[in-house]
Amino acid sequence: MIQGDLRVTVPIRWAMVGGGRGSQIGYSHRCAALRDNSFQLLAGAFDIDPERGRDFGEALRVAPERCYPDYRTLFAEEAKRPDGIQAVSIATPNGTHFAICKAALEAGLHVVCEKPLCFTVEEAETLRALARERRRLVGVTYGYAGHQLIRQARAMIAAGELGEIRMVHMQFAHGFHSEAVELANPSTRWRVDPKHVGPSYVLGDLATHPYYIAETLLPDRRIKRLLCSRQSFVESRAPLEDNAYVLMEYEGGVMGHLWASAVNAGSMHGQKVRVIGSKASLEWWDEHPNQLRYEVQGEPVRILERGMDYLSPEAREDDRIGAGHPEGLFEAWANLYGRFALAMEALDRDDTAAVEALGIPGIEAGVEGVRWVEHCVRSAEAGAVWVDYR
In 91-147, where does DSSP find H-type helix?
A: 97-106, 121-134
Site string for ligand NAD, 173-202 (x = CB under 6 A): --------------x---------------
Q: Which stretch binds ligand NAD (CB under 6 A): 2-10, 92-100, 234-242, 268-276?
A: 92-100
Q: Which residues contact 182 (CB under 8 A, 6 or more apart)?
A: 188, 189, 191, 192, 237
Q: Which residues contact 349 (CB under 8 A, 6 or more apart)?
A: none
Q: Which residues contact 149 (CB under 8 A, 6 or more apart)?
A: 284, 289, 290, 291, 292, 304, 306, 315
Q: Does 23 bind ligand NAD (CB under 6 A)?
A: yes
Query: Do 248 and 255 touch, CB atoms closer than 8 A?
Result: yes
Question: Applying CB under 6 A, which of residues 12, 15, 17, 121 lies at the interface with ligand NAD?
Answer: 17
In whole angstroms, give the CA distance from residue 73 to residue 230: 40
Q: Which letter does DSSP use for residue 67 in this model? A: B
Q: Does 18 bind ligand NAD (CB under 6 A)?
A: yes
Output the smallest distance, CB 104 to ligand NAD, in A: 12
Q: Does 11 bind ligand NAD (CB under 6 A)?
A: no
Q: What are phi and psi of 171, to 5 degrees?
A: -155, 150
Q: Which stretch binds ligand NAD (CB under 6 A): 20-28, 262-270, 300-308, 316-324?
A: 20-28
Query: Do 32 and 368 touch, CB atoms closer than 8 A?
Result: no
Q: Does 32 bind ligand NAD (CB under 6 A)?
A: no
The footprint of ligand NAD on residues 93-122 (CB under 6 A) is 93-94, 96, 114-115
In whole angstroms, give the CA distance from residue 53 to residue 20: 6
Q: Does 45 bind ligand NAD (CB under 6 A)?
A: yes
In whole angstroms, give the CA distance from residue 186 to residue 72: 24
Question: Applying CB under 6 A, which of residues 141, 200, 208, 290 lies at the interface with ligand NAD?
Answer: 141
Q: Does 148 bind ligand NAD (CB under 6 A)?
A: no
Radius of gyration of the chain (CA): 21
Q: Does 318 bind ligand NAD (CB under 6 A)?
A: no
Q: Which stretch binds ligand NAD (CB under 6 A): 18-26, 159-167, 211-219, 253-261?
A: 18-26
- Among residues 189, 150, 176, 182, the alpha carbon closest in space to that of 314 is found at 150
Number of residues this chain uses to bind ligand NAD (CB under 6 A): 23
Q: Does 243 bind ligand NAD (CB under 6 A)?
A: no
Q: Which is nearer to ligand NAD, 45 or 276 (CB)?
A: 45
The 3-state DSSP class for residue 302 equals strand
Q: Does 242 bind ligand NAD (CB under 6 A)?
A: no
Question: Applying CB under 6 A, which of residues 2, 7, 8, 25 lies at the interface with ligand NAD?
Answer: 25
The footprint of ligand NAD on residues 323-342 (CB under 6 A) is none
Residues that bind ligand NAD (CB under 6 A): 17-20, 23-26, 45, 47-48, 71, 91-94, 96, 114-115, 141, 143, 187, 205
